[in-house]
């Protein structure tokens, strides 16, 4: 678990209520699994969660890796309805991602989710409904637009954080086209004690490097895993990684090795993971449809699900009803074999 002792009393009290067992150090932006025609595969979801249980403590759903920018409201709600009881039964906390391009759409969707959770749980109080459903908060990105000023980004997030709902901020310039500056994050944190966590997937780590510590910081950029955690002298409290979909046991072991002072073991494991991730993400990047995080993790998850028998299984379905390119799946299998990371048996 993450040590939240440095946070303000108000933030600690909110975290204690929403996450009484502590804040997980490893989070996963869960893949959304599909059947033919883009239907939701809830049976595969359950088996995937079984594979993550004991390694991943928290889920982000539906994050960018789970097609959160592309899923319509109907499929998002159906996926959450299937997921929440399964996650709660396995002791996994859930951050509900609200990935919208503008602040008003974020706010409207947030309040819609809250009303649904209140009705589903019978809890009128917002935090009571969230806790009863196993939801520990919501995640939002800055409003989209490469030309947005920091003042505009701050004003948009002020409106969203003004709902008072527990919130994680998500730095995702690959999609939004902009970044929250460290000063912007610090200003928002100072005004909004319901802002609890920052996920940074930029790879630039500007907020962490600037020493912003009012929020918990989790890194979403892939690679060099052993270097960035506080236990290794880095600035991050934990990870929220797309590859936790497939490498959760190994990533958990990196965290445990660092905390135990086994830095060489952590560095060796980190390098093996990064070699596979670099290869598969590079192969996924130029392909059309969705985003590279999703494509790469679907390809890797195919082998985690089937093991070596994945060679005889068709590629996974995608959100648009097509199948993932077989060449990408083959590249992922070859990379796993080279890295000694191919499972002997898949979770299915």
Asked, for residue 171, whether it belongs to a domain, the answer is: yes
What are the b/e assignments for 225-236, b being 16+ CB within 10 Å? Answer: bbbbbbbbebbb
Asked, for residue 294, whether it belongs to a domain, the answer is: no
Asked, for residue 168, whether it belongs to a domain, the answer is: yes
In this prediction, residue 280 carries a pLDDT of 97
Asked, for residue 291, whether it belongs to a domain, the answer is: no
Residue 278 CA to residue 257 CA, distance in Å, equals: 22
Asked, for residue 135, whether it belongs to a domain, the answer is: yes
Closest CA to 329 of 347, 348, 346, 313: 313
Asked, for residue 131, whether it belongs to a domain, the answer is: yes
Name residues whose C-beta falls within 8 Å of residue 295's C-beta, 6 or more positions apart in sequence: 284, 287, 289, 324, 328
In this prediction, residue 289 carries a pLDDT of 78
Closest CA to 215 of 252, 248, 190, 244: 190
Closest CA to 1 of 169, 16, 11: 16
String of DSSP letters for 109-164: HHHHHHHHHHHHHT--SHHHHHHHHTEEEEEEPPPP-TT--HHHHHHHHHHHHTT-
Query: What residues make up the domain containing 79?
Result: 9-262
Q: In a structure prediction context, what are the per-residue pLDDT tens digits for the chain, which is 348 residues long?
A: 899 999 999 999 999 999 999 999 999 999 999 999 889 999 999 999 999 999 999 999 999 999 999 999 999 999 999 999 999 999 999 999 999 999 999 999 999 999 999 999 999 999 999 999 999 999 999 999 999 999 999 999 999 999 999 999 999 999 999 999 999 999 999 999 999 999 999 999 999 999 999 999 999 999 989 999 998 999 999 999 999 999 999 999 999 999 999 999 999 999 999 999 999 999 999 998 778 999 999 999 999 999 999 999 999 999 999 999 999 999 999 999 999 999 999 999
Looking at the structure of the chain, the number of domains it has is 1
In this prediction, residue 24 carries a pLDDT of 97
In this prediction, residue 123 carries a pLDDT of 97
DSSP state of 227: G
Asked, for residue 233, whether it belongs to a domain, the answer is: yes
Identify the CATH number of the domain in which residue 94 sits: 3.20.20.70
Asked, for residue 331, whether it belongs to a domain, the answer is: no
């Amino acid at each position: 678990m993450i040590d939240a002792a440095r946070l303000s009393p108000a933030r600690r009290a909110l975290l204690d209520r929403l996450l009484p067992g502590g804040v997980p150090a490893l989070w996963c932006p869960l893949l959304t699994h599909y059947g033919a025609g883009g239907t939701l595969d809830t049976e595969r979801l359950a088996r995937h969660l079984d594979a993550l249980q004991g390694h991943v403590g928290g889920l982000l759903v539906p994050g960018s890796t789970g097609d959160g920018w592309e899923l319509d409201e109907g499929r998002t709600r159906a996926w959450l309805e299937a997921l929440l009881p399964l996650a709660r039964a396995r002791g996994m906390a859930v951050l509900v991602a609200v990935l919208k391009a503008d602040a008003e759409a974020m706010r409207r969707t947030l309040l819609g989710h809250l009303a649904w959770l209140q009705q589903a749980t019978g809890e009128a109080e917002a935090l009571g409904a969230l806790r009863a459903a196993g939801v520990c908060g919501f995640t939002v990105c800055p409003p989209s637009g490469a030309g947005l000023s920091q003042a505009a980004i701050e004003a948009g997030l002020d409106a969203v954080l003004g709902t008072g709902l527990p919130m994680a901020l998500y730095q995702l310039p690959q999609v939004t086209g902009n970044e929250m500056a460290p000063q912007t994050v610090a200003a928002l944190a100072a005004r909004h004690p319901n802002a609890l966590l920052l996920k940074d997937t930029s790879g630039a780590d500007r907020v962490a490097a600037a020493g912003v510590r009012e929020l918990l910081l989790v890194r979403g950029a892939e690679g060099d895993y052993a270097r960035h955690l506080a236990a290794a002298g880095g600035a991050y409290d934990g990870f929220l990684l797309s590859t936790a979909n497939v490498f959760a046991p190994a990533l958990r072991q990196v965290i445990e090795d660092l905390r135990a002072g086994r830095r060489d073991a952590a560095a060796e494991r980190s390098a093996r993971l990064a070699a596979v991730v670099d290869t598969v993400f590079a192969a996924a990047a130029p392909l059309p449809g969705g985003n590279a995080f999703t494509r790469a993790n679907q390809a890797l998850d195919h082998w985690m699900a089937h093991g070596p028998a994945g060679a005889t299984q068709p590629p996974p379905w995608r959100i648009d009803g097509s199948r993932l390119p077989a060449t990408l799946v083959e590249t992922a299998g070859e990379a796993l074999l080279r890295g000694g990371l191919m499972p002997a048996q898949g979770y299915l």
